[in-house]
Chain A
């Protein structure tokens, strides 16, 4: 079965600093991988999605992620953190359900941005 592991349940950075959120996956087939963001008391918003077209995926709000098969990783980065980036971030892998898609989420990483 597909799974993802997010290293670090809490990450704290200063405003303007690099953001690095780690995700490793386990998959028996080439995976589809996702990063979602969740602001307090809100639903999930897709940041970016890897579908094997390109290893470096650019998403919304200045985030990007690089798929590294040799490391089974899909880490999320942003060069310069903004206060508005404070949220919880979930890495997910897709498990196919016939014609639809089941998302298996990691446990999440809560990002704090300090002024």
Chain B
């Protein structure tokens, strides 16, 4: 089945230690999104790629970066995680203005 895959599902890192979260898709969608969802809060868009074009939300901290080496993969890099970055990170894909398909998420714990 075509789908959005996120690895790992659970990630533990130490305060200040860089961490990378991975998202891959078999849907061949041209748009990929990263959302941050803190406990009991709504998902918040961090950034998205429209094809190769990177679009950062105005309030996304500089600590968060993203890479999209090809259509299928997108990475979220957190350069120096703080305790406040502990959250569920959701990847989603869409074809242009179409329906967004979400992955299962990666739950990040910062010790």
Which A residues are within 8 Å of any B CB, using their own CB?
A: 36, 41-46, 49, 90, 96-103, 105-108
Please determine whether A101 and B97 come into contact, CB atoms closer than 8 angstroms: yes
Please determine whether A100 and B102 come into contact, CB atoms closer than 8 angstroms: no
For chain A, what secondary structure do more than half of its interface residues adopt (helix, strand, loop), or is it mixed?
Answer: strand
| Nearest chain B residue, comparing its CB with the CB of A39 | B104
Which B residues are within 8 Å of any A CB, using their own CB?
A: 4, 6, 31, 40-45, 48, 50, 55, 88, 90, 92, 94, 96-100, 102-105, 107
Cα-based distance from A102 to B105 in the complex (angstroms): 18
27 A-B pairs with C-beta separation under 8 A: A41-B104, A42-B105, A43-B4, A43-B90, A43-B92, A43-B104, A43-B105, A44-B90, A44-B92, A46-B100, A49-B99, A90-B43, A97-B48, A97-B50, A97-B55, A98-B50, A99-B96, A99-B97, A100-B31, A100-B94, A100-B96, A103-B45, A105-B43, A106-B42, A107-B41, A107-B42, A108-B41
